[in-house]
Every structure is written in structure tokens, then in C-alpha cells.
Amino acid sequence: MAENLGIKKVGWQSPSNIALVKYWGKRGKQLPQNPSISFTLSECRSETYVSYEQSDHFGFRFFFEGQEKPAFGAKIEKFLMDNKASFPFLDQLNLTVESHNTFPHSSGIASSASSMSAFVMCLMDIEAQLVGKQLDDQKASCFSRLASGSAARSVFPKMALWGTTEAFEGSSDEYAVSLENVIHPIFKTYRDSILIVSGETKSVSSRAGHALMEGNPYAPARYAQANENIRTLLTALKTGDMGTFITITESEALQLHALMMCSNPSYILMKPNTLRIIEAVRNFRNETQIPLCFTLDAGPNVHLLYPESEAEHVDEYIKNVLAKYCDEERWIADRVGDGPKKLL
């Protein structure tokens, strides 16, 4: 960098995502043990701004919701240190990161996918401005993955697949690929109503959970089953087969939690109200034939998935029956979204 830049600023928003086939277990440099598929969300997202100025050494400050929070920024800083060779221009930059989430702090919604992908989009943008490289989704997904595995999938609109599978040409363990152009239009209308059963921080982090898969006696069977589920789900997504979508999605959610229960040490992240909601959703579906199903993240909250055409019935059911199982009757109305967007 020959001339002084002054202070420049870039800004990106990036969404969270909810996995249907779950990534649970990793190897090597943040590579998945099995492929995963997710919906990209719309309302749960991080908005991140990065100011940068020339310096004689690398500098980094992190502000979350207006306050300096070095502990929150530590994961980003470590990611930058680990990948310095890929971004040599960082040695001569002072970075100030300002980030906030659109979803409430105490919602128990993991923010690593949205926050890491939003930051990586900013980093790619800075690289584009300084070195003249084109913004590149594949590269953004690859570096998002290195920052936080599931973040690899947040870079794409509607749905993404991360992990190598023979069932999808061009798939890779290194980055996610978009499924937008192969899925049936019904899935582009999907809603995700996130029922907040507990807003508390979970007792076992995802990082620890992934690590516990290493000694889990069911791990080989799980990885085989996930690969099979990817194949079946891809076909269902292409044909618009909501019945198969429901079977695979619910089975994957329960398998994820079953793996936690049979790891050593074992742990349980579901709460009694998680099970009450699951039971109620299955009863509602049997009685009404409305294709409503649930999935779970690594926590007690329940994601309700359904096509937009059923929104009125499902909303009513949430208000009348399910809200009482939520912490302070809280839920977040989300839907399938369009991926990252440049703010500045």
C-alpha cells in the first residue's frame, strides 16, 4: 500500500441458518465429518461494520452493540491470526469491528454463523478494495467455514449444502454450495418460527459437542446415516416432497440430541417444554394434515418449519397452544432469506 488510505469503512449483514441435515463432528482444519444442508434465514442476522486504516502493524478492536468487548472479538482475532498468510495486507492495517445482532441477546440463538460470515464478507470486501480481487462466494464460504463451520452455509440465499457428497456435483468439504437453483419453489417460501423455550446460554458449547463425537460409539453409524439422509433430502427438495422432508428433518433433529445423550460425558440440552412442543406439533400435523414440522439446533429452542401458505393456521396454533411453552411466550418469526447483503 503506497499511499495513506485515511479511515475507510465497509459494512455487511449476514444471516443465521438452520440445518436440516446436521453437521455434528469435525476433523482436520474445520472440515465436516458429514455433509449438511440448511435453510438460510432472513430476520436473525448480524450487521457488521469494519473500519480500516493504514498502520505499521496489525491492530484489532471489537465492539459489540456499541461497547468494546475484546472477549467477543477473540474468535475473530484468532481466525485472522490463523489465516494471516491468506491476507498479507492485514500486517499493515488497524481494524475496528462494530457488530450487532438483530435477534435478542438472550434468545439462545447461536450467532456464530451470522457474525462470522458477516465479518468474512467485510474482510473479502476490504481485500477487493485494497488488492483489487473480485468478491467471490466460494472463497467467502471457505473462510467463513474456517471461522465457524456452519457459517460456510450462511453465504448463500435460500438453501446451501456444505460437505462432499456424490449426490451433488461440485459439493465440497472446503466450502458450501448454493441449492437455490435446484430446489422446488415451495421450499423458497418456508417460514421458520423459532420458539424460545429458554434464552439461557447452553451448558455445553457446540465446540465441545463436536469434540465429544470423537469418542462416541455411534459416530460411524451417524456419519453413514447423515450421508444417506443428504441423498434422500436432496431428492425431496428437488421434487417438492414435503412428506419426506418432514421425516428426514425431524429424524435429524432427534439424532443430533440422541448423540449428545450418548456421548461421554452425556448431556441433555432439551427441556421438558421442548418435548411438549414436539409432541404437540406431531399431534397437530396428524389432526390437520398441515405439513408443519420441527427441527432443533444444539439447544432447547424449537424451529417450526412450514410453507408460507399455512402461515395463518400455524400462527394461530402458536398463539393459542404453543406460546405457553415458551420463555415469556417469546418466539421469533423468521423465514427463508436471501443471504448476505452489503450495507456500506
Interface positions with ligand PMV (CB under 6 A): 19, 22-24, 36, 110, 112, 148-150, 206, 210, 256, 297-298
- Alpha carbons 74 and 71: distance in angstroms, whole number: 5
Q: Least distance (Å) from ligand PMV to the CB of residue 96?
A: 25
Listed in order, strand segments (DSSP E) in the chain are 8-21, 26-27, 31-32, 36-54, 59-64, 67-68, 93-101, 159-162, 176-178, 191-195, 293-296, 302-306, 331-335, 341-342
Residue with cell 441477546: 105
Q: Least distance (Å) from ligand PMV to the CB of residue 18?
A: 7
Listed in order, strand segments (DSSP E) in 218-320 are 293-296, 302-306
11 or 149: CB nearest ligand PMV: 149
Q: Least distance (Å) from ligand PMV to the CB of residue 15?
A: 13
207 or 319: CB nearest ligand PMV: 207
User: Under 8 Å CB-to-CB from 100, ≥6 apart: which residues?
Assistant: 46, 47, 64, 65, 66
Cis before 265? omega within 30? yes
Q: Least distance (Å) from ligand PMV to the CB of residue 121?
A: 17
Q: Least distance (Å) from ligand PMV to the CB of residue 1?
A: 34
97 or 298: CB nearest ligand PMV: 298
139 or 303: CB nearest ligand PMV: 303
Measure CA 212 to chain center.
Answer: 20
Residue with cell 449426490: 167
What count of residues does the chain have?
A: 344
148 or 193: CB nearest ligand PMV: 148
Q: Least distance (Å) from ligand PMV to the CB of residue 270?
A: 13
19 or 118: CB nearest ligand PMV: 19
